[in-house]
Structure 1
């Protein structure tokens, strides 16, 4: 065909989102780092689902309207660096289709070039061998080969084929990919999207699978808002675990840990392939979305505890899905709250763990966005919290390198309303020292300078378990061993015992200039282990002020800071 309109492109976009949804664990499996964190595939999947949701029931015929609404949905739902970059690609594509009702091959090429350009501009220091390379080389290849008489099908085939070839070449551009023996995960996610779009273009629309493929690494992406325990939704469901492969990968303890981090009054009961859950949460939709990865719902009940009435908050996504599964599309609108009086400053942090939340509250932060390694918050999560704190100048501490782009995207969305300043904190400990150096008595520029300078004063580390066998930078890591990790990504050693890993990490971080050692204890550490740690470090590091406290964070047994 010579042109495509909004109706067809809508189907292509949803088909692309569905294809990624069906295959995101495959993308997650490509992640280089063996940590159970917020994985690329899941982040891109949740981002694409946000866009698909926005256009699902629209009937626009012009392609610009559809693409603009889709890109807006991506922007608001973007999670993690990969999700933000994906949203920027489609934002650029939408800009390239401005005011067009249909596009031909040449106009499609121009739109993809626009997508490439906007994505590159969104990243301060673009890295080649990533999703950026894949979109650049695919777009450039079509621009080089497109002709006036070319069909849209042929044009999109060129994009897809070059994207696949570009993906194969990513290990040649990033040594770490070659060392581990994988291609770039973000690029792989983009290829899945393009495959789904191409399939719909050729008349073969891809539906969501009845039971979503399960992430065999057990990573989680459940987002929740920080609210009072007495409010929210009482959520109960019974589900049947999926096929045998799903049953083998389902780990009740890890499943319980993830849900417990984002709710309270949690009860999880498993009887063979039946799992029953009761939890109080602000976001039942996200809880159910995570749980659905492991099987199908047999019964779901949600009660709005604040309004004191029972309300089922889900409806059928489509007739086909409702016939196959009890899974539903969840709408979890935030509860309204009285608007606070406008103030000069507000400080927002990202945190994960009751103890860490309490630490930040001691530092008088104004808002906490729940999130971290296991569940990167979306752009919308930040926007909601910024609007809630109601200040002229809002400082954000992302406390995770994979969250900074989403925070910056929220800043961009609200640039005409609020002065948002994102301090690029990449770890919880950087966030803590940065918050300590914030003062409402100082002007904006002085605070920015002080908080950024404070980042240089702390060395960060963490201990967590490995989700797969691998070798990185000459360090051999075996599945389920505990890794000592320096500054988020530098694995320095691996041990069978978590306390041994902690000792090695602290030994690596402490030097003759160190004066303060902070250790945040994770939720998987027993009381006996905690007492052993306190006794050992207070005795071994007598010349250092040791602050050892409960962080209650999931995934990471210990978070360490040395100043």
Structure 2
């Protein structure tokens, strides 16, 4: 077909055709993915982004308005470096295109040229030999050809040759590509997009309009071995920020010092952020001042790499974020974390990942509506188990008490399909939380490190669970009332007499008030008596101390119990955000496991 002008419908179908072509190439793009991280997901990320365009973009009454719909769909659905760069490219086209019924070759070429600049400027440290190089080479060729060519079919045919040549030269510009003997995966994906767009321009045909992205087969994905991410910035973090009059340059300046691989894409209403950082919680705390974060994603690249190439055992150990165990021990034993969700002012955060306890303390007494929490979704649980099943023979999951959260049931359900496929998975209800759950997880990790079998570790975990207790000193019932853990009448009655309870967990995993006092000293003595009673029955193997912004008091606990028990605690740490939300600022807990 011959096109000297294209309208909104043509733009839409051209993009859909290009998107379909990228989706078809997903596995090959994954296979050759070595930059910026050899994680084999560039094809999947681009395919996800393209599928978002297919599913959510609409034909409008002009090319510009149609591009606006496509740009918004790309921004919301963008995944990974390549997806976000592509989204910014489309946003650039939208912002630079004139709003008229039909556009000619020169209009299209100029908007693409400007869009290339938008995409380039979105990246903090652009690297030549990648998608951005091919975009700019293709854009320059469009501008040169647009001076003499008036037909879109001819324009795309000639400019595609330039894009293919640029793609073939990417290994010359990037050593990691030369070493792997591949071209850049993101750049190749963009060339496939051009090919798909050209196919529509030539034929006017659209097939498989509603292609749905299929689930990634992690076992089939062949990834090149390159450890080329900075261990100082181990968390690949993404956010979608929504607001009014968003200033991309200002946001970029605010978060630029948090890591590397920073990319920002978007417009005044939505901004997509990608960054590799050591502190994802800092990123999400900073951007909350600009608008509402409607999407969050954080991946631990270090743990992903270990799972594929540097496993310490054939048994994967997973726990949820309610288990209070220091990051150093989580790293030492390669323990995988599945965070629960905490909802603050309509934004969903991942406990211990995109929000920290210290940041939460700043907000607790300022919020008009007290936060709420929820278990991980079934999709989140299935994702982590499926990824681990590709690299481990066995998986052990230890959850917060099923009486306190639906996390156990979600993970049990998520494990059912994998068990049908032959994966050995055991999901264990710890019947504990916080530091108590942490001690049970630590025992499992030590047993795995000692070479115990899958069945032996499970038996040891269940035995340790029965020998572990937790006692929490709660200085005020204000937060338990706010979180709904106790009723209003109970809280009023307790506060009248200034009651300071000691909270524990019974053998079924239910929270109970095991002691009551009218002062903090009395509360402390109650816990001391409970620990002494335990010591009469058996020797304490391990104990831990956790607290909610109460350094001075937890140090007093450490001094006292080190003398009483005869050894220092295994660890001292801040409690998880969700535990802090329920127990409140000032809470201190001791957890003990007996031999």
Q: Larger helix proportion, structure 1 or 2?
A: 2
Q: State the structure with bigger RCO (CA 8 A, min sep 6), 1 or 2.
A: 1
Tell me the TM-score normalized by structure 1: 0.46
Tell me the TM-score normalized by structure 2: 0.44
Structure with greater Cα Rg: 2
